[in-house]
Structure 1
């Protein structure tokens, strides 16, 4: 392919970049037709009427001119070349791993997996739900606990969530004390501290090698193996903790658990950790799938998402998210967690790594890792002036070298290996799946041994003494794991490839059709943006490697932060939060820190409009604030009278207001500047939720029209893919007075303000740094004109859909001139009252038309919130409108009696091929009406794998690990 293919010249009539012309779906002529349908002759007139003048910026985006794909990739290559990829034997929860090629290409690099959305519509998510159930089974089996969730954000935040869960399970009303083993990962300890402070929980650390200290604790966290590498028996400490009424949390290494006694067999109540070393690259810290498993009795308090097994309308086994009442948009301030983004794509990779290797393969990898660690330890014991501190370890050897740590670490670095200097007298060396005898030899030379591998190293085929003998003694694992057939059937690459394809084909992702989810912004994730993620220079950098080895990363991060600050009008941006929910928390903690620094720590009231995203309230509670709800008026706007009343009532204690703009109702509220001014006058801060920033970029800047802080969803506006429900990145932008209170990190001073920062929000210094090249590339290739054009196109598309659908479905909220912002809400409540057909029936019927449903019953029950994004072309927009209009005709047939009210294509949707082929077709409508309501569906028909799933059955009969194959038999 020539450079001309990748970088054609932009049209002089449309000066935005050629990439922008491909990212934006409707061609200029198509946009003209869309504008005519709305009633406008040009985009500028529509934007002037839709976007309030009070928020419009008076200056264009000051960003570099757009780059072509070729130029952007060349620049990223240049940045990547400034990173130095050494063999990192640092450990601390991050390990070298080998991603099987079949998983790399067919999951991580496959849009069928990475463009999928969170499986809230389970009928079209059976493939990724099965993969997540496999993940839960892996975690449950290895930890020895009965229930595991479908991933967390990382190990540090999982441990912090475990602290909160332990407190709930203890049923104590007072905050109390959480005790953490001093041998826990340092970043985990600090993330726990960050999360504990606003909740009033005291975090104490102690060396628990000799048992529990005196004191009262509601929970205890142990690291297994410890950060130092030590493997200790958990049972004595767990027994002591239970005697005192405390919950036991264990942060455990999944690979080590193939050889070590599971924590669940030693008394653990909760086990957390990371699945990173199951085939997921470093990525300079993420994204990686954290995990959590719990004992019987507290599974219904488990944070995050839980995949369960239920049945469909025909009684067939089917997967779905269990216990969905915990979802934050339902529970709001009563939510147990603000985890709205799991790490689904990475959990899928980890689960497939286990499927690929099976229990024998995982054990072999663990044995090889342990063999190298034992060989290294044996050699170091013979080196002069070296003491191996621990006799029992899995992969990490701690060497005592009085006064020589820095010297040894530098010698190893010159030999191509990064070691971890624990202090001036100790060096830690962590072995992993990628470790070779040559690496062990290089480490030995750094310690003063000769060039041969240290004594005790064994050939690749041999097992070390004690792996099946006394290396772990009574801690050796005896119980089986991964016994389900799925972990034994796919040994050949052919079988694995077909298994992945079979699961992928069950789902609807962006590679199949548009996903018109309101507030979720499912738009194009271009191949050129995605390509750099797997480059070794980005993928293979340890998050705690010396900063001089990550110069390219730091430059990329700095450029991205600066460009996001320019786009939003803020003074400073931090990319550390690794999900939108974490960005919310970070922003609120910054506000909390600001008030405290001014001697106003008593300010703890957070005003939240009733229309807000559900995570807002959960985040406010986790930030130690008390939620007060502000009403919305009949137009969906903040009720100013109610706002002023709440300000008068709570002004002295007001901390902040959290506003989503444009509103969750899909409207540009005219009074936003008045809201901001009133809150500021009362001494509060304004938090603008950036979930809908894609309707503002290039037109308005939150930092200019009155906001003090926002989180930005890079997985929405800035093109990081959802990956089935994660990865996500939720950086925050702040005005200058809040900059001192951005996230910091204990192991990297460069990551944030050390003296005044709120502490780490995620385990890694720059969060999910490995996917930041995606957003960097998007901004670089769109350029200032393309970014603004994308915003305009999103607004045009939403208003076009509203105009086409309004004659058939009432559009619930509009702004001035009857216009919407970037999304619109179709109101089915009157239709339901008249016909019995619900919004859920329409959502399920859309599956028969080949579409993922819009957002169902949020923010208003009985509605569908629709967002087309700028990436969908006119043909796809019309295909969706045609489907919705035809469904309305089907509803009318119910209304006029042509269709039975209880037995019709909508109530029975979706229809599988199997149900349509049944010999005894009893329905009063034809099979053709069920399968092909529009002629175009005969070309590339999507067939759902299951019929409508019984949600209540799955909650009453909770099954959250792989069921036996017999469960799927007729």
Structure 2
């Protein structure tokens, strides 16, 4: 076997693979692959000379431990949105490292996702209570991109003739300013840095962003400035610190329309920049413009309270090029961690942490003044900055004592520093303060002053929070570890994840997330680093990045890779910006047309519009392929302005289109570039390379193909690979690299969600080239096996020229609507009774399901899924024949809860056994849906997106 780990990663063993091949009429895997993958793009062998040799878990873990040891862990007091935090051991063990939480999918099938949805509702409630704004979403990617989303929302809402100016606080975090610049330029938005004391908004302003506290640590009352902005019709966004908000008046009381920020310091490790859950809260008036996901309360068919994703028609894959955002994910696992952190501490605990930070900051201020450092008297929360000619000496002394301080100006070398900044956090202690003050004293050759014993701990000069907050029961009930542990596990029991069985979601690749791959994410040498730590302290991350970039480039056939995009949507956007920058470098700024097949995922057109491109749709033929005649016509029509074609490969319809090379050639001949959406790369790794058959850019979903788990619906990493001519334009970052020809950053941190890169490194290190090729081949084999078994029951809608599908297949359920009155949702909900999560529903074709089994599911599990689908088809035949009532039947009334099965009254013309144990042996391993079918329309008509308050409960009682 090519890799000792391969047998752990693959579901079907060699004997099972032979059975599947025999069922399809093939003698061996090579002959099968030759029929599936077009010969003109199929590689004879993977790029073994560049990739590592496969190995076992212990070897890979030791190799990575050696790399991690080259990182130097210093105590980070840099701040700038990244802080030390104490993750409660209970949350680390039972949430962060628990596969029941990190292997779950997006909660689209809400009846088997109630636990995750409740944890996210707790998060939304926390953010709403902190900010005072009634609508908070289920999290975004990072604070900088959340601020950019706020700018886009403001621009969309405040469309006025000529209003193009967006005012940005001079004290905004530097990475936020950089991302805003990237996002504003393609849209023609004018950014103006302002000092709040000096600005007078005018009619040209559509929005403003303030930072509280600012990068300089300052707090102030923006009420009057916000009112001035409102007077000219502009919206105001305030980027806030969640711990500071426990003491300050909620920004909504100051007039803010939108609040954004990062929940990282609520129990989530820094991880060299991510992943972290950003938050976004706004007024009720903008609930249909809020980006990302929104959890709302509703009721089920039995009248019980239930949760689901609200206002789903807002989602970007529906709005397409009319979208204002391309975000279709949330940082679910990290938002869940933050919500449990708040449950763990409660409002009193959170406030106490904030007050301790203020007390120590006041003691530090007193010591700095005693040492002669110039420090303006002004309100602050946790941070302060000092301009001083002693700055280089201060940084040297602090480093010798084990501290990293913020270097001023941002991005300067230590020797060129003109100032320093210090940000205290939850982990700060008086003993640490003494050591820090000793280092500062040594830098100026003074004796260290004693800590001031008595300080107020108050925030003077800013509006303060008054009255009770976060009064919901969930934030007060679970103070003992026993009770919180049980609450976490109670929520786990209401969810379905890969722990329970196969999740056959097309386009989502729910494959094995091996424990050995996940283990290093918790290592302090990776988890505890600040993204702006000095480069000589993060050489382990640098090595990790170089390895991954090299390996991914080899697998995709590109010359360079950027790991910065922290989601697939960000990868799409970054890739298009790179193409746009290349056209601009050639004085072809007029090229602004982006051709997109009608079958493409909706984030594609949304990303194109955000990149300043004009979307022109291209038709698909009856086989689901790009209609090459229509493509040629659109290319001819727009040849002078053609910027790019966005194409998903294998196609969105689950087929290897044979004409991909000629498609790429046609675009290149007319001056355009080919952007390949890598959502389906799991069909290609080791078999064919996008860069070799004509693509210029490709984004990779590391949370699909390269084993980063979905985390309940959150993104992993969305890097892009590019051809040689585009490499100079890959995203830069002002705090770590010089600009050159690079586009601006698309994520807050230089390496995006660097903290989870060890997962993909481990996967590639353990697998090696040959095993990766075999994994892709088995993924294709599994999909074709399912298509073969299910085709006579549910027609497979699209196939390639040889009759094969790629790594997924689309089953046509539309005939059941005509013959039995069944909708696709009826089959999806009935699958829950069989213990399965539904495949992807009604996309890319309404009334169908898209099934992707991956290479990690065993033949036994594949057959179990097929048996369930065949049994459901048999139930549909009973409706067709009249043996079963067309309205009161197991499909229409699915899913069946335990409460319904045990009720004294059973009003259904089928047995309880048929309802809840439709498959033999289920009695031994039953997964119960937490609620009956949810009424989505009721929830949208009665939108409630926070936990019930004490008043709500009292009224209900």
TM-score (norm 2): 0.97
Residues 286-435 of structure 1: pairs in structure 2 closer than 5 A: 286-384=274-372, 386-401=373-388, 403-423=389-409, 424-435=417-428
3-state DSSP of counterpart to 2:615: strand
Mapped to 1, the partners of 2:921 and 2:724 lie a distance apart of 55
Spell out, residue by residue over 1:491-513, the C-alpha distance to the aligned partner (whole angstroms, 9 max, x if none): 01101100000000100000111
Mapped to 1, the partners of 2:94 and 2:484 lie a distance apart of 10
Runs of 4+ more than 3 Å apart: 209-215, 449-458, 964-970
Within the alignment, does 1:588 sit opposite 2:576 as a pair?
A: yes
3-state DSSP of counterpart to 1:935: coil
Mapped to 2, the partners of 1:261 and 1:232 lie a distance apart of 11
6, 23, 46: which one aligns with 2:9: 23
126, 131, 137: which one aligns with 1:143: 131
Residues 511, 704 of structure 2: 8 Å contact kept: yes
Residues 21-420 of structure 1: pairs in structure 2 closer than 5 A: 21-62=7-48, 63-172=51-160, 174=162, 176-212=164-200, 216-384=204-372, 386-401=373-388, 403-420=389-406
Residues 371, 457 of structure 1: 8 Å contact kept: no
Mapped to 2, the partners of 1:479 and 1:678 lie a distance apart of 66
Spell out, residue by residue over 1:41-70, the C-alpha distance to the aligned partner (whole angstroms, 9 max, x if none): 111111000100111125532312112111
3-state DSSP of counterpart to 2:643: strand
Within the alignment, does 1:804 sit opposite 2:789 as a pair?
A: yes
CA shift for structure 1 position 675: 0.6
CA shift for structure 1 position 330: 1.4
Within the alignment, does 1:882 sit opposite 2:831 as a pair?
A: no
Within the alignment, does 1:848 sit opposite 2:833 as a pair?
A: yes
Within the alignment, does 1:447 sit opposite 2:433 as a pair?
A: no
Mapped to 1, the partners of 2:241 and 2:177 lie a distance apart of 16
CA shift for structure 1 position 474: 4.4
Mapped to 2, the partners of 1:568 and 1:175 lie a distance apart of 43
Mapped to 2, the partners of 1:453 and 1:281 lie a distance apart of 32
TM-score (norm 1): 0.96
3-state DSSP of counterpart to 1:221: strand
**Residue 480 of structure 1 aligns with which residue?**
468
Mapped to 2, the partners of 1:337 and 1:269 lie a distance apart of 18
Mapped to 2, the partners of 1:168 and 1:678 lie a distance apart of 36
Segments of structure 1 that go 5 or more residues without pairing to the other structure are 1-14
3-state DSSP of counterpart to 2:259: strand
CA shift for structure 1 position 221: 0.4
3-state DSSP of counterpart to 1:820: coil
Within the alignment, does 1:814 sit opposite 2:799 as a pair?
A: yes
CA shift for structure 1 position 328: 2.1
The 1:175/1:731 distance shift into structure 2, 3 A limit, reads farther
3-state DSSP of counterpart to 1:818: coil
Residues 106, 500 of structure 1: 8 Å contact kept: yes
Residues 759-798 of structure 1: pairs in structure 2 closer than 5 A: 759-798=744-783
Mapped to 2, the partners of 1:326 and 1:33 lie a distance apart of 45
Within the alignment, does 1:827 sit opposite 2:779 as a pair?
A: no
**Residue 465 of structure 1 aligns with which residue?**
456
CA shift for structure 1 position 357: 0.2
Mapped to 2, the partners of 1:400 and 1:593 lie a distance apart of 37
CA shift for structure 1 position 439: 2.1
3-state DSSP of counterpart to 1:606: strand
Residues 281, 539 of structure 1: 8 Å contact kept: yes
**Residue 713 of structure 2 aligns with which residue?**
725
Residues 572, 677 of structure 2: 8 Å contact kept: yes
757, 778, 784: which one aligns with 2:742: 757
596, 614, 617: which one aligns with 1:608: 596
Within the alignment, does 1:714 sit opposite 2:702 as a pair?
A: yes
Residues 371, 449 of structure 2: 8 Å contact kept: no
**Residue 935 of structure 2 aligns with which residue?**
950
Mapped to 2, the partners of 1:227 and 1:834 lie a distance apart of 64
Residues 745, 760 of structure 1: 8 Å contact kept: yes
Within the alignment, does 1:639 sit opposite 2:627 as a pair?
A: yes
Mapped to 2, the partners of 1:717 and 1:254 lie a distance apart of 34
3-state DSSP of counterpart to 1:722: coil
Within the alignment, does 1:574 sit opposite 2:562 as a pair?
A: yes
**Residue 412 of structure 2 aligns with which residue?**
none
Within the alignment, does 1:933 sit opposite 2:918 as a pair?
A: yes
CA shift for structure 1 position 299: 1.4
3-state DSSP of counterpart to 2:85: coil
Spell out, residue by residue over 1:457-476, the C-alpha distance to the aligned partner (whole angstroms, 9 max, x if none): 44xxx8x4152xxx324422
CA shift for structure 1 position 614: 1.2
Residues 293, 329 of structure 2: 8 Å contact kept: no
Mapped to 1, the partners of 2:250 and 2:663 lie a distance apart of 54
**Residue 900 of structure 1 aligns with which residue?**
885
Mapped to 1, the partners of 2:753 and 2:42 lie a distance apart of 32
CA shift for structure 1 position 161: 0.2
Mapped to 2, the partners of 1:778 and 1:455 lie a distance apart of 52
The 1:175/1:213 distance shift into structure 2, 3 A limit, reads closer
CA shift for structure 1 position 215: 7.0
CA shift for structure 1 position 447: 2.0
Residues 568, 715 of structure 2: 8 Å contact kept: no
Residues 234, 263 of structure 1: 8 Å contact kept: no
Residues 231, 394 of structure 1: 8 Å contact kept: yes
**Residue 414 of structure 2 aligns with which residue?**
none
Residues 46, 773 of structure 2: 8 Å contact kept: no
3-state DSSP of counterpart to 1:53: coil
Mapped to 2, the partners of 1:211 and 1:174 lie a distance apart of 19
3-state DSSP of counterpart to 1:18: coil
Spell out, residue by residue over 1:433-461, the C-alpha distance to the aligned partner (whole angstroms, 9 max, x if none): 01112221222123216999754444xxx
**Residue 8 of structure 1 aligns with which residue?**
none
Mapped to 2, the partners of 1:827 and 1:909 lie a distance apart of 20
CA shift for structure 1 position 371: 1.0
3-state DSSP of counterpart to 1:514: coil
The 1:213/1:244 distance shift into structure 2, 3 A limit, reads closer
The 1:390/1:228 distance shift into structure 2, 3 A limit, reads farther
3-state DSSP of counterpart to 1:55: coil
Higher mean displacement: 294-303 or 418-427: 418-427
Spell out, residue by residue over 1:623-656, the C-alpha distance to the aligned partner (whole angstroms, 9 max, x if none): 1111111000000000011001101111111110
Residues 376, 454 of structure 1: 8 Å contact kept: no
Mapped to 1, the partners of 2:89 and 2:623 lie a distance apart of 53
670, 675, 678: which one aligns with 1:690: 678
Residues 346, 727 of structure 1: 8 Å contact kept: no
CA shift for structure 1 position 670: 0.5
Mapped to 1, the partners of 2:947 and 2:427 lie a distance apart of 30
